[in-house]
Amino acid sequence: MQRTAVVTGGGTGIGKAVARELVEADFQVLIVGRRPAPLAEVAAELGSSVDTLALDVADPIALAAAEFPERVDVLVNSAGGNTDIGRERAPDGDLIGLRDSWLANLTANLLSAMLTTERLRPSLAEDGRVITIGSIAAQYGAAGYGAAKAGVEAWNAELAFTLGAAGITANVVSPGLTEDTEFFRGRLSEQRRATLIGRTANKRAGLSVDVAAVVGFLASPASRHVTGQVLHVNGGAHLGG
Ligand SMILES: NC(=O)c1ccc[n+]([C@@H]2O[C@H](COP(=O)([O-])OP(=O)(O)OC[C@H]3O[C@@H](n4cnc5c(N)ncnc54)[C@H](OP(=O)(O)O)[C@@H]3O)[C@@H](O)[C@H]2O)c1
């Protein structure tokens, strides 16, 4: 039987590279994102092994109503990003603005992954996989975004035990700077880029294929005893523990 994968955020960046990796591993892949256009482009590029679903995965009502495959072997939660990028910083003392900024990051990164996983939980195949894209920001701050990604790690730790008896694994893949994505919205300065690369052991920026390769391993039968973990893909910029 052909295995089925759902990849949120599959229209661009890391999610798109993951979709390609899973198509190459013979999955039928449903890619999910809010904008139909990037999804359609990926489907045109990768062919009939890809289906698309335009959906906001942070919206519980839309999630509940959406149609997903009856059986899901692999769920990859890649939708997310730092919602502070491109948004005006709340002035000091503006607690409502600050709360809104944190809520936006928590919703986009932590609640979206948790809600999508809960929506698909009844459909997860025995020996299935839940893989969520975290971030090196979980270790280094970045305000609400870092807190949201740290929350993803804590949620994943519990999820591994919730799903473990069914042979389903739950892991976080945590990238550092990853180029060829829309993450920075074109706002990464040369100076900041050089600083981030300078923190790596291998003195290079990551690419979405570097992250997708690790997701590909986790999606494979060979990874069955790896669960509850955070796998770091950052060129050594954070030495994971
Ligand atoms: N690039 C990096 O340096 C880096 C580093 C560490 C971690 N990450 C993480 O990697 C993941 C993938 O990001 P990326 O780097 O590939 O950036 P990206 O190109 O901006 O990809 C994010 C994708 O998520 C989708 N998305 C966002 N919110 C969504 C929602 N509520 N519902 C459905 N789809 C949603 C976006 O499409 P729509 O806008 O059309 O919905 C987009 O396709 C994110 O979780 C990010 O935090 C990235």
In this structure, is residue 181 part of a structural domain?
yes
Pocket of ligand 1 contains residue 146 by CB under 6 Å = no
Helix (H) or strand (E) holding 137: helix 137-140
**The dihedral sign for the CA sequence 159, 164, 167, 169:** positive
In this structure, is residue 136 part of a structural domain?
yes
In this structure, is residue 153 part of a structural domain?
yes
Res 142: pLDDT: 85
CA-CA distance, 174 to 132, in Å (whole number)?
8
Low-confidence ranges of the chain (pLDDT < 50): none
39-70 residue pLDDT tens: 999 999 999 999 999 999 999 999 999 999 99
Q: How many domains does the chain have?
A: 1
Selecting among 73, 145, 153, 172, the annotated active-site residue is 145
Pocket of ligand 1 contains residue 35 by CB under 6 Å = yes
Instruction: Choose the residue to mutate in 7, 35, 59, 78 for probing ligand 1, maximizing ligand atoms within 8 Å of C-beta.
Output: 78
SS3 78: coil
Residue 13 CA: which ligand 1 atom is closest? 16
Nearest CA to ligand 1 atom 25: 9
CA-CA distance, 212 to 99, in Å (whole number)?
33
Tokens 């305000």, residue located? 143
In this structure, is residue 240 part of a structural domain?
no
Contact 131, 218 (CB under 8 A): yes
Residue 79 CA: which ligand 1 atom is closest? 24
Res 139: pLDDT: 95
Res 86: pLDDT: 87
Read off the DSSP letter of residue 241. Answer: -
Read off the DSSP letter of residue 209. Answer: H
**The dihedral sign for the CA sequence 171, 72, 55, 114:** negative
In this structure, is residue 53 part of a structural domain?
yes
Q: Is 145 a catalytic residue?
A: yes
Residue 15 CA: which ligand 1 atom is closest? 16
The domain in which residue 115 lies consists of 4-233
In this structure, is residue 178 part of a structural domain?
yes
Looking up residue 60, the CATH number of its domain turns out to be 3.40.50.720
Residues in the chain: 241
Structure tokens at 220: 């494979």
Ligand 1 center to 97 CA (angstroms):
23
In this structure, is residue 239 part of a structural domain?
no
In this structure, is residue 160 part of a structural domain?
yes
Pocket of ligand 1 contains residue 8 by CB under 6 Å = yes
Pocket of ligand 1 contains residue 151 by CB under 6 Å = no
Contact 32, 9 (CB under 8 A): yes
